Amino acid sequence: MPASALAQTAPDQGLIALKYVDYRDWQPGGDRIHVHSPSLYLRKPISDSLAAEGSLVYDGISGASPLYHNTLSGASGKGGVTDYRTAGDVKLTKYLDGAAIGVGAAISSERDYLSRALSLDFRISSDDRNRTYAFGIGGASDDIDSTNGVAEGKHRRTVDLLLGVTQALSAEAIVQSNLTWSSGHGYYSDPYKTLDVRPDHRRIVAWLTRYNQHLPRFDATLSLSYRYVRASFGSDRPVAWVTDSSRVTAAAG
């Protein structure tokens, strides 16, 4: 799904980006979690109006559950945590006069989980290029096979819709608002939690609005955001946060 409305201009240069994330968690008297995650991103202009991009990522996790905690939630069982995720996505975007159409595909694989997704998005700008509307639709097909045998051959199917608008208020200020709707059916329970039984369908509506103001004097950007999520499982979660270029302050209620 498109995360935001972007300028309708094809990139004129290719890009290769590499990133490596290493995370460790520990406590006195016990080895804990170690996560390493290398990733690769590629972007390639194919013509003046066509561009391709894609990414690959590998997440590896190993370690043990916390001391004094005799129930481990995860795919590893009592022997500690050992899991991985390999994921990739590719997207092809056609740029038109004041508009863009993107088609994407993604796949993510774990020991007990396989997800495949397709997406289509359309973005169109106003004549002065100060406003961009975004429309998107995506679908995902997930297969679950838990290592403890509780969930074997289970499936989940999801459809997502997005409507969004981005408005440039000035050369240094921009506001964006997105509304997303998701509908899924299939297996939602956690097979690694005892007595965790959830409905076989879920509806989610999310509204995100954010405002960015660049502050040239301080070489920083102030961002004010608000996100509200309502799910059919019975949860309402408004979240707001304020950020600048150097720190993040979050508040949820």
What's the confidence (pLDDT) of residue 239?
53
Global confidence as pTM: 0.78
Distance of alpha carbon 69 from alpha carbon 106, whole angstroms: 36
pLDDT at 172 over 50: yes
Q: What is the pLDDT of residues 6-54, one digit of tens each?
A: 446 788 899 999 999 998 877 666 667 888 999 999 999 999 999 999 9
pLDDT at 187 over 50: yes
- Single-letter amino acid code for the residue at 80: G
Domain 15-252, classified CATH 3.40.50, yes or no: no
pLDDT at 94 over 90: yes
pLDDT at 72 over 60: no
pLDDT at 75 over 60: no
Domain boundaries in the chain? 15-252
pLDDT at 5 over 70: no
Long-range CB pairs of 109-112 (<8 Å, 24+ gap) are 109/85, 110/75, 110/83, 110/84, 110/85, 110/86, 111/75, 111/83, 111/84, 111/147, 112/75, 112/144, 112/145, 112/146, 112/147
What mean pLDDT is predicted for residues 218-238?
84
Q: What is the pLDDT of residues 110-165, one digit of tens each?
A: 999 999 999 999 999 998 889 999 999 999 999 999 988 899 999 999 999 999 99
What mean pLDDT is predicted for residues 96-119?
95
